[in-house]
Amino acid sequence: MKTSSMLILFLVSFILMNASFSAEDEKPQLQPINYMVEMRDGTKLSTDVYIPEKGGPLYPVLLERTPYNKVNLKGLVHFAENGDFATVAQDVRGRYESEGHPRPFEDDGWGEHQDGFDTVQWILSQPWCNGRIATTGGSAGGITQIQLAGSAPPGIVGQHVVVAPLSGYHSTFYWNGVFRKSLVEGWLVAAQWPADNLGEIRSHPTYDSYWQVQNLGERVDKVNWPVVISAGWYDIFQQGSIDAFQAIQEKGGPNARKNVHLVMGPFHHGINMLKVGEFEFPESAKIPDTWPKGSDWFRHWLNDEPLSVDPPPVLYYTMGEMPVGDAPGNEWHEAQSWPPPSKPVQFYLTETEGLAKQKPSDGKLAYTYDPENPVPTAGGTNLLIPAGPFDQRNYLINKKEDLRANIEDRDDVLIFATEPLKEPIEVTGNVRAVLYISTSAVDTDFTVKLTDVYPDGRSMLITDGITRLGFRNSLETFETATPGEVYRLDVDVWSTSIVFNKGHRIQIAVSSSNAPKYEPNPNTGNLDWKSTEKIKAQQTIYIGGERASHVILPIIE
């Protein structure tokens, strides 16, 4: 097996180990009963059923559907061996032992094919099922759950979703209309999806009907059961997981609204991993023991066993100075919703590379963006390239040659920073930027990074975002721009929770690329992904007055 494929399987196994069962279990002994379960179009999906040897004859059921080979889902076997409930592991359409053509998540929701719904219906019809079904899974297994939720099958009593987003278009494959190149292309190859899937994904660059049936936000009112969502500040689905929680809490059915939970830790693509980027978080950064484990939730939903604690709707970790000393931060907090109450404070970009609360006088700054020489990705929310907080001024861009680069010293990166803070500042919530821009091109991108600059000069990445000018008004319609005209752009810089310590500086970096995390915009306005034409763009950022570009930080007072 290729190294990248092994990494994908490792990540998923790691997620499930921490989310669903205890790692001290011995090798499973219970053998599955395999069924080829027929879907509505006649396609049969390979499904392994594990029936407890004690109790019965009727059992509640724990279901997981995966594209990563159902034989790897050892946690499900142990639940059945313990006699808690029957478990069902299924290869999704076209993967491993299942029939059909594999298409990532396209057949798992409420479209033409509704494989999740049909599988639940089949389970309900079995003589060993007592009518109560919960679902589990992380990453791709979390996305199959999100898709299943939108089809709203009867019998679901709870879902435990780990690192999975609300919407495929808005989080998984694109972000603000920009293709998530390293994530999507790397994952398609690593997980060995057929090559035609990339073309299908790329042939829908706008939010159209193809994507609407992969966005739970379109049908979130159908969700009416408890849901737990877990993710990390440096996860590829960080904002998408938060979006899922918010949508369910605000617009789900009554039973979901009052029983949806969000856990956000300082992790990347998994749970309780402490080495993240160039930081190693303390043991206390693991999800505390007072929070119910996945197995506790399943027994609660399926067997009516009481939870040992009454968990809050939101549990989140506020990061702080690293390594941990006596500075504030690096502790868990609770909230009733997300984000917790905060004050949105505007910090204005200045011509002297400052970031100030006072609006400066009129001005502008310019740079040239060359898609042939994009700003290299230096950490952040990635999967198969280095993820997490990295020093933007000393980033290892070539490990074999030990070649390092100062990302912030490039001519196409504009830096804006506060003075050293006189007191700590906590930023918790969604970070947004408002940029007033013009360009010489008919389309282009703009990026924003938030970093924590330490007294020793390290500029540690906290979060970042990107937006495409052509989607400034709607993700459903692409509009070219008029060269030289000034536009207001709203940039979602994702979310975080961090205390910037006394003596540190809050810094914003503005540019037009972040590759290979995002595909560099060719500046041509051509949405044909196979086109090789590229042109340079002269970019202008406006400062002060009526065109006062700024970042909005949610500050906890």
- How would you class 118 by CB atoms within 10 Å of its CB: exposed for 0-12, middle for 13-18, buried for 19 or more? buried
Q: What is the mean pLDDT of residues 4-11?
A: 45
The pLDDT value given to residue 26:
55
Residues 348 and 550: their CA atoms lie apart, in Å, by 4
Calculate the alpha carbon distances from 406 to 371, 377, 393, 444, 449 in Å: 19, 12, 4, 24, 14
Residues 366 and 486: their CA atoms lie apart, in Å, by 13
pLDDT tens digits for 353-374? 999 999 999 999 999 999 999 9
Residue 203 has pLDDT above 90, yes or no: yes
The pLDDT value given to residue 13:
41
CA diameter of the chain: 76
According to DSSP, the β-strands at 537-543 and 425-439 are antiparallel
Q: What is the mean pLDDT of residues 323-331?
A: 95
CA 161, 89, 122: angle at the middle one, nearest 5?
100
Peptide bond into 424 cis (omega under 30): no
Could you tell me which of 24, 8, 112 has the C-alpha nearest to residue 66?
Answer: 8
Residue 21 has pLDDT above 50, yes or no: no
In this structure, are residues 69 and 129 in contact, taking their beta carbons and an 8 Å threshold? Answer: no
Residues 534 and 515: their CA atoms lie apart, in Å, by 15
* Contacts for 167 with CB less than 8 Å, ≥ 6 apart: 211, 214, 215, 216, 217, 240, 243
Residue 518 has pLDDT above 90, yes or no: yes
Q: What is the mean pLDDT of residues 511-537?
A: 98
Could you tell me which of 100, 86, 126, 4 has the C-alpha nearest to residue 45?
Answer: 100
Q: Which two tokens stand for residue 317?
A: 């970790």
pLDDT band at 327 (very low <50, low <70, confident <90, very high): very high
Q: What is the mean pLDDT of residues 491-515?
A: 98
Residue 256: phi and psi, rounded to 5, are: -80, -45
The pLDDT value given to residue 19:
45
The pLDDT value given to residue 192:
97
Residues 51 and 350: their CA atoms lie apart, in Å, by 66
Could you tell me which of 170, 137, 174 has the C-alpha nearest to residue 63?
Answer: 137
Can you say whether residue 474 is alpha, beta or left, with left for phi > 0 and alpha for psi between -120 and 50 degrees?
A: beta
Q: What is the mean pLDDT of residues 124-144?
A: 98
Half-sphere exposure of 396 (CA within 13 A, CB side): 11
pLDDT tens digits for 391-418? 999 998 878 888 899 999 999 999 999 9
Sheet containing strand 459-468, strands side by side: 414-417, 505-511, 445-453, 459-468
Residues 15 and 73: their CA atoms lie apart, in Å, by 11
Length of the chain: 557
Helix locations, 135-174, DSSP H = 140-151
The pLDDT value given to residue 28:
58
Residue 79's H or E segment, with its range, is helix 74-81
Peptide bond into 205 cis (omega under 30): no
Residues 266 and 276: their CA atoms lie apart, in Å, by 8
Calculate the alpha carbon distances from 233 to 74, 428, 493 in Å: 27, 11, 12
Q: What is the mean pLDDT of residues 329-350?
A: 98
- How would you class 267 by CB atoms within 10 Å of its CB: exposed for 0-12, middle for 13-18, buried for 19 or more? buried
Residues 529 and 521: their CA atoms lie apart, in Å, by 10
The pLDDT value given to residue 399:
81
Three-state SS sequence of 485-543: CCEEEEEEEEEEEEEECCCCEEEEEEECCCECCCCCCCCCCCCCCCCCCCCCEEEEEEE
pLDDT tens digits for 32-55? 999 999 999 999 999 999 999 887
Helix, coil or strand: residue 340: coil
Q: Which two tokens stand for residue 382?
A: 């990635």
Residue 461 has pLDDT above 60, yes or no: yes
Q: Which two tokens stand for residue 318?
A: 């506020």
What is the residue-averaged pLDDT of the chain? 94
pLDDT tens digits for 250-292? 999 999 999 999 999 999 999 999 999 999 999 999 999 999 9
Residue 4 has pLDDT above 70, yes or no: no
Beta bridge partners, 426, equal 499, 556
Q: What is the mean pLDDT of residues 75-104?
A: 95
Three-state SS sequence of 274-297: CEECCEECCHHHCCCCCCCCHHHH
- Sole residue written with tokens 């074999």: 400
Calculate the alpha carbon distances from 508 to 289, 372, 543 in Å: 36, 24, 14
Residue 312 has pLDDT above 50, yes or no: yes
Half-sphere exposure of 420 (CA within 13 A, CB side): 7
Residue 22 has pLDDT above 60, yes or no: no
Residue 20 has pLDDT above 70, yes or no: no
Residue 183: phi and psi, rounded to 5, are: -65, -55
Residue 10 has pLDDT above 50, yes or no: no
- How would you class 215 by CB atoms within 10 Å of its CB: exposed for 0-12, middle for 13-18, buried for 19 or more? buried
pLDDT band at 441 (very low <50, low <70, confident <90, very high): very high
Higher pLDDT residue, 537 or 404? Answer: 537
Could you tell me which of 442, 429, 417, 418 has the C-alpha nearest to residue 492?
Answer: 429
The pLDDT value given to residue 31:
93
Residue 6 has pLDDT above 50, yes or no: no
